[in-house]
Each structure stands twice: as structure tokens, then as C-alpha cells.
Amino acid sequence: MLAEIITIGDEILIGQIVDTNSAWIAQELNGIGIKVHQITSVSDNESHILSALHEANIRAQLILITGGLGPTKDDITKRALCKYFDTQLIFHEPSFKNIERLFEMRGRKANLNNHSQAELPTNCIPLNNANGTAPGMWFESEGKVFVSMPGVPYEMKAIMLEEVIPRLKRHFTTPFILHKTILTQGVGETLLEELIADEENALPPGFKIAYLPQSGMVRLRISASGDEQIIRKQMTEEYEKVCLKIKEFIFGFDDDTLESVVGNLLRQKNLKLSTAESCTGGYVSHLITSVPGSSEYYMGSTITYSYESKTKILEVPANLINEFGAVSEEVVRIMADNVKKKLNTQCSIATSGIAGPGGGTKDKPVGTVWIAVSTPNGTVTKKLLLGNNRLRIIHVAAITALNILRKEIIGLN
């Protein structure tokens, strides 16, 4: 079964916002056996919307629409849907009650524009929006299903999870699809493909592997569809074969993140962590503290960006910086050791590098980064050469540092 997603809004087409809705919707649909065939973005223009609906109806059995349901004049999705389905708007009292409830919770009263949001096409099934004032709409026409939802992500997601997904499961019979994602760091997609070539070539019918590279890591997704009982058994077997070949690069699975994996290890080992950052400017700290409960194991950070702050705050000897430079193994080693002492932790991470676009030399070009990781077993260092994209340098340096710490903690007795 095929689905199509239509996103409506000039703000998407001019690059003012990024369409994250489609990726999320596609993931949810795939989980229940519905494949997204196409994603289309259109402007706030009635003829453009109508054309997209006509074309999607030819290609797909399920059409999901987001955007254009607000209370202002540029929100024209409902009018376009009325024209497409040859119907008209009618006031829906339960939807207006929900709108009034939301405004009362905020100490306000609904106005005439909000009243118009409770006007819905006569032939739609209203979908409750618990997080906002724009109801979703479910249409059925000639065996096809059309669903219209707000473009605000947290409103759309609530409607999808609470209303749309349950209805789709009842309305359609879909195949069983299973995914297993292996998360790797420190290896490129081409080498991964070489390492598991035999396993990939011998996959059972209905199985396939996708290589999904991101900055500093590669997601390896094994997918299969068919009989659920058979697929689950085969997936376990194939997944284990692949993991065996690339185990040295694996840091997690499915929805894991390096920061959450490292956090769990620190918690299990009852270890405390501190960081001393230069070129990453606090990004390592940001990743660590994005994990709920990180205060149990993370004690804090120093962002010593200048030479002076390195000497004054972390007590890196000035003569060491003069001799080897701030971006050096010798300096990051002292940074890691000293922040650990100052914040009384058993583990620490230190970074220093040249993120660019300026500051590089022949010996130390832009993208040169030194990382030091200290644990009860001692301090290890690593040099990276990460090209000339500033944001990529910062991101890859941070996740590489976390992965080094992960491996060091696993190696502790």
C-alpha cells in the first residue's frame, strides 16, 4: 500500500522552516506497513493545492496533508478541500468546545477567527486536536483516504498517534514490516559495505540493507517484510551475523544515541564526568546534558577557548602552549587531567582544535582536532583531521570524543 504526503505552506518553499513533519510521518507509517511513495510541498495557493491532491490521488491510496489550517487569511487548506470534495463548511460544535477549553486553560477567550476553525467540511470525520485549535479531518473517497492535519509539529503528532494511526490500522490491511538499525561510529559506509558484503549478498528474500551516513557516524538499517513469525526469526539470525562482522564499530541500536549510551555506562559504573572544551565550545556538554538524569553523573565543564583561559582556569603551563601550540596532544592531555581534578570526577573529556574557516597552518590545517579522554585507567588521546566545514568539525569531534569515552569505560575492570 502506498501513501503520499503533501505539505502546504510558503514558509517551507522559501526555506523559512524545515519540513520535519514528513520524515516523522513516514517513519510512523512505515511502522504499520504503509510505504510513502512521494512527498510533495506546495504553496498557499488553491490551484496548486488542488493540483497536488489530484495527482496524489492517482499515485496513492492514502494522502496525508499538513499545514494551512490556522485562523488567518493565508490558511486556505479547508477551502481547497471543500472545492476538491465538492462540499461546504459547517460549524462543528464539539470542535469549538475543544477550542474554548484550550483558551480557558490559557486565561483567554476564543474570538471570531477561532470560531471559524470549528467550521469543517460536511463530508469529513473530525479528528480531535488535543494540543491546538485546528481539528484534523478524515475523508474517504472511492476507496482512498485523505487526512488533513495542522502543520504545527506537536499538534500533528498528537493527531497522528491518537487518531490517525488507530483508524488506519482498522481501515487497511497492511503487510508486516520489520526494521533493525545498527549504529556505528568511526567507520565509513564503503568500509562497512566491504566488511558485510558476504552477509548482504546472502540475505533471504524480502530483506535489504540500507547505509545511512550522518556526520561522524553511519546507521545500518536491515529491513524485511513478509510473514511476521518467519521475518522475526530470520531478522534475529541476519542481524547477529552482521553485528559479528562490525562489532568494533557498533555503539548502539535503533533509537540509541552516543550520549545516552555513555550516560548509562557512567551510571552503571558509578562514575562522574567533567569536560574541558575549546573548539567544540560546549557542544560536548550540550549532548551530555540533553539526556534526562545526566546530573547524576555529569559535574560540569570549562569552556577554555582562549590561550589565557587555558592557563588561568585549567592551569595549562604557558610554556607548553608556546612550545606545542594550543591544538596539541600535550595541551589536551593537561586539560583533561586538570578538569578532572578541579571538578573531582573520575572521567573527563578535553577538546582543542581549529574549526575554521581561518586559523589553519601547513602543519595544522583547518579541521585539526586533538581529543583527550581520561578515566581511572589513565588518559588516551586522538588526533582527527576533519576537513573544513566548521559545524561538521564541531559535531564529529564531539561524538568521536564520546565514543572514545564509551570504549574506555567498557574497558574498565
Distance from C-alpha of 195 to C-alpha of 189, rounded to nearest angstrom = 10
Looking at residues 139-155, what average pLDDT do you find? 95
Distance from C-alpha of 143 to C-alpha of 132, rounded to nearest angstrom = 30
pLDDT digits (tens, 9 = 90+) for 208-228: 999 999 888 999 999 998 888
177-253 is classed CATH 3.90.960.10: no
Question: Cβ of 233: how many Cβ atoms within 10 Å?
Answer: 11
The closest alpha carbon to 260, from 93, 406, 152, belongs to 406
Please, is 349 exposed, middle or buried when counting C-beta atoms within 10 Å of its C-beta (0-12, 13-18, 19+)? buried
413: confidence class by pLDDT, cuts 50, 70, 90: low
Dihedral (CA of 306, 377, 405, 248) sign: positive
Candidate CATH numbers 3.40.50.300, 3.40.980.10, 3.90.550.10, 3.30.230.70; the one for domain 2-171: 3.40.980.10
The Cβ-side half-sphere exposure at 359, using a 13 Å CA radius, reads 17
pTM exceeds 0.75, yes or no: yes
Q: Please say if the pLDDT value at position 182 is more than 90.
A: yes
pLDDT, the chain, mean? 94
pLDDT at res. 109 = 80
CB 285 within 8 A of CB 277: yes
394: confidence class by pLDDT, cuts 50, 70, 90: very high
CATH class of 258-410: alpha beta
pLDDT at res. 130 = 85
Q: Where are the domains of the chain?
A: 2-171, 177-253, 258-410
Distance from C-alpha of 392 to C-alpha of 219, rounded to nearest angstrom = 17
The closest alpha carbon to 193, from 181, 201, 185, belongs to 201
Higher pLDDT, 177 or 249: 249
Cis peptide before 357 (omega within 30 of 0): yes
